[in-house]
Structure formats: structure tokens, C-alpha cells
Amino acid sequence: MRRLVERNDIVDFATYEDNRVASRPLAMAAKRLRRVDLHENLTVLFENRDTLRYQIQEIMRVERIVREADIVHEIDTYNALLGSPGDIGCVLLIEVPDADERSRLLTEWRGLQARLYVSFADGSKVFATFDPAQVGDDRISAVQYLRFQVEGQTPVAIGTDFEGLESNLTFTSEQIAALTEDLARL
């Protein structure tokens, strides 16, 4: 089974729109299985080929993308989220409804992205890697694209040791199975 989205996986936005009602439930099920609420303000969405394909198709539909170069750019951009074979890619969403509070916390939580980890059955941990361009001089972005270099090992938990947000959440057996399947893709 392939790991990355390829050009022939993507249909034009009109064809996608015609079939969206039928394909959307499968994508939503894959996303639900890979969603982890780490803290009241922190949601982690693990990505795989199926969730990325859905995101690409949705962007093409909303933005009416038709130029081949733009389609390939979207595919390449989203595939980069997965990292190298053996890595797990995810999106960290920092969700704070109040704009003033969000601004304060995005400043206060600068460095959070480097303090997220996944852990394994033996207790070892791997901390996230991230693109430094996502972090400004005084605050972090509310959406962080992270990778965990797990070298093909399936983690059993996710957590953070960032001061004030310390938490550790064990994955469900269904989540572990989904991540194991994702890591097995070539």
C-alpha cells in the first residue's frame, strides 16, 4: 500500500464535488480515528495518505484549483507533512475561542511545539520535529505541522512536558492499530 498521495489519486474539483457526499464519510472516519484531544486547548490530528488526499481534494474544491502546477504543489506540500518513511506526521491545533486569550496564550506557549512527544511501550519518548518558520519571534502559530521520527515503531501515547500543560494520553487500541497501519505503508 502506498504511503504518499500521488497525482493519479487526485481528481478534478468538479468530479470530486460530484462524489463528495459518498467519499466524505470515509475521510471523516479516518480523521476521527486519528484525532487526539491532548488538552482542552490542544488537539492533535495524525495524518496519513487518506486524510491528506481528502485535504487536497477539499482545497482544490474550495479554491477551484485547476492548473496542473498548482495541483502538484498542493500534493507536494501535503506529502511533506508525513516526513520520511517511518515518521508519523500530525497537525497540532491550538484552539482558544477568545481572540485576546488566544493571542496571550500563543505568546505564553512559545516553545510548546518542541515539548510534545510520543512514547512507546518501553517508556522511551521521541519529541516532535517542526519547521522553525512556524514560530515567530514572540509567539507560535495556532496551527503547527509536526513530525515524530519514530523509525517505524508504533507509539502508545502522546504527551507534553511543557510547563503548565503537562499531560500524557494513552492511545486507544483502535488508534494504535491505525498508526501501526499507517507506519506499515511504503
Full-model pTM: 0.91
Q: Helix (H, G, I), strand (E, B), or coil: what is residue 83?
A: coil
In contact, 83 and 42? CB cutoff 8 Å:
no
In contact, 162 and 114? CB cutoff 8 Å:
no
Quick one: pLDDT at residue 1? 59
* Domains of the chain, residue spans: 7-184
Quick one: pLDDT at residue 25? 94
Bin 152: left if φ > 0, else alpha if -120 < ψ < 50, else beta. Answer: left
Query: Which residue positions in the chain have pLDDT lower than 70?
Result: 1, 133-134, 186
- Distance of alpha carbon 119 from alpha carbon 138, whole angstroms: 29
Q: What is the pLDDT of residues 110-153, one digit of tens each?
A: 989 899 999 999 999 999 998 776 677 788 889 999 999 999 89
Indicate the residue type of 71. I
Quick one: pLDDT at residue 65? 95
